[in-house]
Amino acid sequence: MITEIGIVAGEIWHDLDEHGPSRFSQMMSRIDRPKELALMSLGWLAREGHVIVRQDGDDFQVELRK
């Protein structure tokens, strides 16, 4: 499972690098992965300091840390 979380974290990073800051729901439609797996991967990236995550209504705004 940890390997799959890492792979999806890489997909999220590449998606944000290509598309810039995005709502989590928009990013989910582009990466096409299970929501629970994407949330675990996003948490990994946030813990490592690679992304900034902000609450945006019922969604999250996600961007790469510069």
The pTM of this model reads 0.91
CB 45 within 8 A of CB 51: yes
- For the cut 90, the answer to whether the pLDDT of residue 59 exceeds it is yes
- For the cut 90, the answer to whether the pLDDT of residue 66 exceeds it is no
Q: How many domains does the chain have?
A: 1
Look at residue 37 in the predicted model and tell me its pLDDT.
97
Separation of alpha carbons 54 and 1, rounded Å: 26
Tell me whether strands 51-56 and 22-23 are parallel, antiparallel or unpaired.
unpaired
In a 13 Å sphere around the CA of 31, the CA atoms on its Cβ side amount to 29
CB 26 within 8 A of CB 63: no
**Domain range for residue 13?**
2-64
pLDDT digits (tens, 9 = 90+) for 13-58: 999 999 999 999 999 999 999 999 999 999 999 999 999 999 999 9
Q: What is the CA radius of gyration of the chain?
A: 11
Domain of residue 49, CATH code: 1.10.10.10
The SS3 call for residue 61 is: strand
